[in-house]
Every structure is written in C-alpha cells, then in structure tokens.
C-alpha cells in the first residue's frame, strides 16, 4: 500500500481506500449501488498512524461510498462516533448531492446525538481518478496559465449561481452552474477583467435558522463539509476544468475563494457529516479551558485547526489539488487572519498556515490573497506576509469621501497613493456588504429576510442614499473610478456594472440575488459602458497599474512623478492638508521615466466630495508642453465626453461626488528631444 496517503487511489490493479480516525474502535467502508438502495459494508484495517484502509478489486470510477465510525459518543471527551451517521470522505473529489436545499426536519437527521440513520440524506462520496497527462489532452489550455503580474491584475468577484441564474442566452438547465460560465469569456474580456474570483464552490451545509420553506439556504457556501469536491448545484470538477481551460484560452486567470477557518458541521451538538465523526482532535480548535468546547473564532461555529498535522495537511493537499491538477491560478482565503492564529489564538505570520501558503505558492506559482482579519481574533492588515490583503480601510475611506464627509482628504490621498501597503487588494464593494447600487440608494441595511432580525451584516457601510438616478449613477461611477485607479490591485463585485441590487440586504448569504440581464435602463447601460471604458483605460496605461506606491521623485523634466494639486491649480501646501473642510483632492502623474523618455502620458486626476454644489477649480500646468483633455467625468455620460482642450490656468467645474480624469498626450520622440534640450541649456548656463 502507498504509505500514509488518504482518499482513494489506484494501487496496481486494485483500488485503495484510506481514511484517518485514530480514536475510532472500528471503521466501515460503505459501498452503494448506483441507485443507492443497496449498501455493502466492509470493515477496514487500522495502521499504527491512525489510518484505516483496504484494497479492493473491481472498483470503477463513479462508485459511491461513505464511512461509518464506531466508538464512544461523548462530546466532553471530544468523541463523536456514531455509526448511524454516514460520513463524507474528507478527500472525496465528488459527492452525490448538495445539502443546500434540504428541509429543516431533514437537518435534524444529520445531528450526531440521535439514532436516526442519515444514509438517505447524507451525500455519498464518489470515486474519481485524475491524471494530468489525460487532462492535458482533453483540456489543452488547462496548464497554460496566464501568469499575469499583480500590477496588471483586475479581479472580478463572482458568485456562480447569481451570475447566470437569469441569463437569457444560457440553456435553462445550465443556469447557475459552472457550465454557464464557459460562455462568458467574451463578457469578461469586454470588461477587461483578467482574473475571475469564484466564491466558494465546495460542498456546504446551511445552519438551522436557514429554513427551506422560507426560501433560505447557504447561498454563498462559506460552510464547507469537504475541501476537494464541487457542490453539485454548480456541477462537478469536470465543469470546473472546462471553465478553467476556456478562461486560459482567453488569457484569463481563475481564482478560488477557499474557506479553511471553520466548517459546516457547526457546534458540538449539531451536524455529524465528516471531520467531526472521524478525527475532531486534528480538524478543530478546542478550548484550552475545558478541553472539549469548540473554539469559535469566526462567529460561524467550530473553528478549523490549521496548526495540527492533519488540519494543515488537508489544507495543503486541497490547494495542491486545485492548483496542480485543476490548473487554478490563484486563491483567496476567507478570514486568512483567523487561519494564521496559533494554538493560543495569537497571530503568527510564520505559523503553519502561512508556511503552507508560501510553500504552495512556490511550488505552483499560485497567487495568494485574503482577508487579514479574524472575526473575533484581531485585525492584521499589513502583517500577512506574502499574501495580498483585502483592504476594508480603503473601502471605508472611499465611501466617506464620496458621500461628503469632512476630514477625509488626507486619508484618501494615503490610499490613492498606495502608501498603506504594496500588497493591497482595493475593494469598494464585495460579496459581504451593500452592492454599489444599494449603497447609493438605501439609508441602512435591510437584512430581515435572513431570519436573524437584522442583527447580521456589517453596520459600517457608510451609505450615501439618493432618490435621483443621475446622482446615484455619478456616485457609483466615481467609487469605481477611485477604486480602479488607486495604487493596488482592483477588485470589482460582479453585477455592479449592471447596478445589481440586493434590496438593501448587505449580507446576501442566505438567498439568491441574481444579475438582471434584460430590460436594462439607460442608467444601467451607462454604468456598464463606463466600467468597460475605465477598466480598459487602466490596462492600457502602466502609470495606473504601478502598485509600488506613489513617489514624489523628480524626473529629468524637473517635475515630480506624482504631485498633489490644490483647488487653485498649485502644489498642495500643509494648510491645504490641514483644512478639515476641504473636500477636493487632485494629483498629477508624470509620464516621463528616469531616463527622460515617455513610458506613459501625463494625467490629472480630480475628485470632489462636495455635496452642495459644483466646485470651480483651476487646472495646473502639465508636466510637459501641451494641454489637458477630459478622459472621464463621472457626472457625464460616456457619450458626452468631447475633445475640448484646457490650458494651464483654465477653470473646470466639477460636479458633486464626481471624479474627473484628464490627459496630456505625450509624443515619445518630442519628449526626449525636449529633455535633451533642457540638459544642453542647463550645461550652457
């Protein structure tokens, strides 16, 4: 037998099953007929390392199976053995059913503290074998990864179900699945998104308060019961492979949102589905005080333990499976700060989890990002070494500025210049929070449909409501502009480009909120056109995709590479920064490099958080000869932008809540000749 492997593998002409359960007294492998009406139980043999295994003949792909464990059921001793509960193989690569849609009564059958046999409800594991050589023949682009630099990456966070649930050009049976995404490459390319971040795909379990008869389920999937398989509501691993192959063909990366901080087995007295019934000591964090209570660092139930040998191993193995076998390009870690807590619940940037992340990244080239916080364990922004960090401080600052709060100019400058981090994921909207449309529409969150009395979801959304569609449009365009043009890696929430609403729900985990593709209003069409133009603009101009942070270094033409400008078109003074009622921020980007040659055009970026009226501002002198032309004005429709030229000292009216981007085109040869003339003049003097 293959030493210390877990899962199912071919072993010469036989098939080996192996599962870890050190404290079990007996473990049975249960094989099921295709119709699941016949169950054959096979007792496994235990090895010294706590693994149970068996070699069998005549096992084919598609064989359904599960495990039953025997021993004491005593939560006070961290024992949850109950042979009445069929357990999913932690290493299963496919399962038969989703637990997303079961009734509340059926959920009780999955509780570990009763004698109901869960065989009719529990998912069956399915035997699958994957060979890289065979996959490469079937999917020729699977391993041809784009490898975009972080500087050129633009992330599109997407929920598979919401994206295509109402898409008219998708076959109805494929809507809401991975198969539907295979038709979407042109859409992503049209919007210049080159990394598609898929929200959790692995099998999930909804908690008790999410009742099927109220239309509630674990829509988002942040309660995994397995870290390898795909929840059947989205399809199978094969569908993910086909999607990744199609994306790679179009030079688009695929990122998976993965959850290693807690599982769907919930609290001590709840579900017995997999990990808890096999090896709870290895997979979960327990209280150091009483030794048996599950530690809840996430607010969602029992915390997963990345610090144990087995907990860390399954994290690494699943990351390697998706990256090395499935061709996944990147991973986003939910509550990465929680995963990085040590056994004393202290953050450790060199702990087991972070070491695993670095090792997998080095082995596969996968790009890593995540949330630098724990739900109740702390906030670690700037400390997640080698992981690009989601930055909610950036998000809050943008919202406060655009809605007109005083005292935000300094903070906005700090974030726009990337002074906070060189590993920053810029977010304005994301799955957990209000959509852009709802942010500009609602006064406060409206989460009553989640069946939690509106207690769930963040209270810090900094809403900026308006009843006027034009004002809402300006605000959401401005927010997207500032988020996209700030130093860092921009992330956009799927559906914001079409003004998707969640009816004020800022925690839409419990029910679907699909994108609407038909009968778009003029404002929705404009929102899409603006996003398309802005995203392409960032990709075309390297001066905006510099993620190393702004510098005021003086270029050969005598101008700084980045210069802050006040309302009078002059360099910002300390009194301008200190004036708390100032709600105007502008800066000039110099398109000349250290050698005096052009690497981009010159740009002027201006934004107003003024809410009462337009601001009349003076335009500064461009870094080289020429005049300014408007590229974007978020208060105007894309079709209204003209070629008017603005000289130094000209005035421009900036509407409330808006962002204006101007350019001064450079001719590379002319710029270099002018630089040489300046050098000669300096020498002659």
List, for residues 398-413, the tens digit of each pLDDT value: 999 999 999 999 999 9
How sure is the predictor about 685, in pLDDT bands with cuts at 50, 70 and 90? very low
Instruction: Identify whether residues 63 and 176 lie together within a single domain.
Output: no
Alpha-carbon distance of 485 to 482, in angstroms, equals 5
Specify the pLDDT at position 156. 98
**Domain closes at, from 507, 540, 573:** 540
Q: Calculate the CA 238 to chain-centre distance.
A: 22
How sure is the predictor about 549, in pLDDT bands with cuts at 50, 70 and 90? low
**pLDDT tens-digit series, residues 349-364:** 999 999 999 999 999 9
Alpha-carbon distance of 592 to 557, in angstroms, equals 8
**481 phi and psi angles, rounded to 5 deg:** -65, -50
Q: Which domain CATH number covers 652?
A: 2.60.40.1180
197: left (phi over 0), alpha (psi -120 to 50) or beta: beta
Q: Which domain CATH number covers 14?
A: 2.60.40.10
Q: Is residue 138 part of a domain?
A: no
Alpha-carbon distance of 79 to 99, in angstroms, equals 24
Instruction: Identify whether residues 165 and 122 lie together within a single domain.
Output: no
Specify the pLDDT at position 668. 57
**470 phi and psi angles, rounded to 5 deg:** -65, -40
The residue-averaged pLDDT of 538-564 equals 82
The answer to which of 92-106, 505-519, 668-682 has the lowest mean pLDDT is 668-682
Alpha-carbon distance of 161 to 177, in angstroms, equals 6
Specify the pLDDT at position 503. 96
The residue-averaged pLDDT of 635-647 equals 93
Question: Which residues form the domain of 41?
Answer: 7-126
Instruction: Identify whether residues 489 and 420 lie together within a single domain.
Output: yes
Residues whose CB falls within 8 Å of the CB of residue 671, separated by 6 or more in sequence, listed in order:
557, 592, 596, 597, 598, 624
Instruction: Identify whether residues 100 and 245 lie together within a single domain.
Output: no
Q: What percent of the chain has pLDDT over 70?
A: 96
Q: What angle do CA 100, 243, 130 make, to 5 degrees?
A: 85
Q: How many CB atoms lie within 10 A of CB 474?
A: 23
The residue-averaged pLDDT of 525-537 equals 97
Q: Is residue 303 part of a domain?
A: yes
How sure is the predictor about 162, in pLDDT bands with cuts at 50, 70 and 90? very high
Q: Is residue 550 part of a domain?
A: no
Residues whose CB falls within 8 Å of the CB of residue 419, separated by 6 or more in sequence, listed in order:
549, 550
**pLDDT tens-digit series, residues 458-506:** 898 899 999 999 999 999 999 999 999 999 999 999 999 999 999 999 9
The residue-averaged pLDDT of 240-252 equals 98
How sure is the predictor about 671, in pLDDT bands with cuts at 50, 70 and 90? very low
Q: Is residue 271 part of a domain?
A: yes
The residue-averaged pLDDT of 211-237 equals 94
Instruction: Identify whether residues 288 and 410 lie together within a single domain.
Output: yes
Q: How many CB atoms lie within 10 A of CB 390?
A: 24
List, in sequence order, the alpha helices (H) in 403-511: 409-416, 436-439, 469-485
**Domain closes at, from 126, 143, 177:** 126
pLDDT > 50? residue 682: no
E strands of 517-647, at which residues? 562-565, 584-589, 602-608, 615-618, 628-633, 645-646
Q: Of 579, 557, 560, 576, nearest to 568 (Cα)?
A: 576
List, in sequence order, the alpha helices (H) in 295-408: 309-320, 336-339, 352-364, 392-402
Q: Of 266, 297, 258, nearest to 375 (Cα)?
A: 297
Q: Is residue 557 part of a domain?
A: no
Instruction: Identify whether residues 237 and 299 lie together within a single domain.
Output: yes
* Mean pLDDT, the chain, whole residue set: 92
Q: Is residue 614 part of a domain?
A: yes
- Total domains, the chain: 3
Distances (CA, A) of 67 to 252, 264, 266, 482, 599: 39, 18, 20, 52, 61
Instruction: Identify whether residues 566 and 526 lie together within a single domain.
Output: no
Alpha-carbon distance of 344 to 342, in angstroms, equals 5
Instruction: Identify whether residues 259 and 302 lie together within a single domain.
Output: yes
How sure is the predictor about 25, in pLDDT bands with cuts at 50, 70 and 90? very high
Specify the pLDDT at position 390. 94
User: What is the reported pTM?
Assistant: 0.94
Instruction: Identify whether residues 644 and 573 lie together within a single domain.
Output: yes
The residue-averaged pLDDT of 130-147 equals 97
Q: Which domain CATH number covers 496?
A: 3.20.20.80
**pLDDT tens-digit series, residues 171-189:** 999 999 999 998 899 999 9
Q: Is residue 57 part of a domain?
A: yes
Instruction: Identify whether residues 644 and 525 lie together within a single domain.
Output: no
Instruction: Identify whether residues 171 and 306 lie together within a single domain.
Output: yes
Specify the pLDDT at position 3. 56
Residue 333, classed as helix, strand or coil, is strand
Q: What percent of the chain has pLDDT over 90?
A: 81
155-158 and 651-654 beta bridge pairing: unpaired
pLDDT > 90? residue 288: no
Q: Is residue 612 part of a domain?
A: yes
How sure is the predictor about 680, in pLDDT bands with cuts at 50, 70 and 90? very low
Instruction: Identify whether residues 501 and 631 lie together within a single domain.
Output: no
Distances (CA, A) of 226 to 222, 303, 593: 11, 14, 50
Angle between helix axes 522-540 and 469-485 (nearest 10 degrees) is 20
């Amino acid at each position: 037998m293959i030493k210390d492997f877990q899962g199912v593998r071919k072993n010469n002409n036989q098939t080996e099953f192996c599962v870890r359960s050190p404290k079990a007294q007996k473990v049975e492998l249960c094989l099921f007929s295709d119709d699941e009406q016949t169950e054959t139980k096979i007792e496994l043999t235990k090895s010294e390392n706590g693994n149970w295994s068996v070699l069998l003949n005549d096992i084919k792909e598609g064989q359904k199976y599960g495990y039953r464990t025997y021993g004491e059921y005593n939560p006070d001793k961290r024992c949850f053995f109950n042979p009445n509960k069929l357990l999913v193989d932690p290493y299963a690569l496919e399962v038969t059913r989703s637990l997303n849609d079961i009734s509340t009564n059926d959920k009780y059958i999955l509780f570990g503290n009763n004698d109901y046999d869960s065989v009719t409800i529990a998912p069956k594991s399915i035997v699958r074998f994957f060979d890289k050589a065979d996959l490469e023949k079937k999917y020729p682009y699977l391993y041809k990864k784009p490898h975009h630099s972080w500087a050129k990456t633009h992330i599109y966070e997407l929920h598979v179900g919401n994206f295509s649930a109402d898409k008219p050009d998708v076959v109805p049976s494929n809507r809401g699945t991975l198969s539907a995404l295979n038709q979407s490459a042109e859409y992503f390319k049209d919007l210049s998104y080159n990394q598609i971040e898929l929200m959790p795909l692995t099998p999930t379990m909804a908690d008790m308060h999410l009742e099927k008869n109220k239309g509630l389920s674990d829509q988002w999937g942040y309660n995994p019961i397995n870290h390898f398989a795909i929840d059947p509501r989205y399809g199978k691993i094969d569908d993910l492979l086909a999607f990744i192959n199609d994306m790679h063909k179009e030079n688009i990366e695929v990122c998976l949102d993965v959850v290693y901080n807690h599982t769907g087995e919930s609290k001590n007295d709840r579900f017995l589905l997999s990990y808890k019934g096999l090896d709870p000591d290895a997979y979960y964090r327990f209280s150091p005080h009483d030794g048996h209570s599950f530690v809840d660092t996430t607010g969602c139930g029992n915390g997963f333990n990345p610090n144990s040998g087995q907990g860390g191993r399954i994290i690494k193995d699943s990351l390697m499976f998706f990256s090395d076998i499935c061709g996944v390009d990147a991973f986003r870690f939910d509550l990465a700060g929680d995963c990085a807590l040590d056994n004393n619940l202290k953050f450790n940037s060199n702990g087991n989890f972070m070491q695993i992340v670095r090792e997998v990244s080095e082995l596969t080239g996968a790009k890593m990002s995540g949330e630098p916080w724990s739900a109740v364990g702390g906030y670690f922004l700037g400390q997640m070494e080698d992981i690009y960090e989601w930055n909610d401080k950036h998000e809050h600052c943008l919202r406060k500025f655009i809605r007109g709060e005083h005292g935000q100019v300094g903070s906005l400058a700090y974030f726009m210049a990337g002074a906070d981090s060189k590993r920053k994921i810029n977010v304005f909207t994301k799955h957990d929070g209000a959509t852009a449309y709802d942010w500009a529409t609602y006064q406060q969150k409206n989460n009553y449909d989640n069946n939690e009395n509106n207690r769930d979801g963040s209270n810090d959304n900094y809403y900026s409501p308006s009843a006027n569609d034009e004002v809402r449009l300006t605000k959401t365009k401005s927010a997207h502009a500032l988020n996209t043009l700030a130093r860092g890696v921009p992330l956009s929430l799927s559906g914001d480009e079409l003004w998707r609403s969640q009816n004020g729900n800022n925690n839409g985990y419990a029910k679907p909120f699909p994108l609407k593709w038909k009968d778009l209003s003029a404002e929705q069409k404009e929102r899409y056109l603006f996003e398309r133009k802005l995203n392409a603009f960032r990709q075309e101009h390297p001066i905006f995709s510099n993620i190393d942070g702004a510098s005021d270094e003086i270029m050969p033409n005598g101008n700084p590479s980045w210069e802050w400008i006040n309302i009078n078109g002059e360099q910002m003074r300390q009194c301008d920064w200190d004036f708390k009622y100032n709600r105007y921020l502008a800066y000039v980007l110099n398109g000349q490099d250290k050698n005096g040659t052009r690497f981009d055009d010159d740009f002027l970026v201006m934004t107003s958080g003024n809410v009462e009226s337009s601001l009349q501002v003076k335009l500064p002198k461009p870094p080289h000869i020429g005049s300014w032309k408007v590229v974007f004005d978020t208060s105007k429709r894309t079709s209204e932008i003209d070629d008017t030229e603005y000289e130094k000292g000209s005035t421009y009216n900036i509407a409330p809540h808006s962002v204006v981007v101007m350019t001064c085109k450079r001719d590379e040869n002319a710029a270099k000749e002018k630089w040489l003339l300046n050098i000669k003049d300096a020498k002659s003097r």
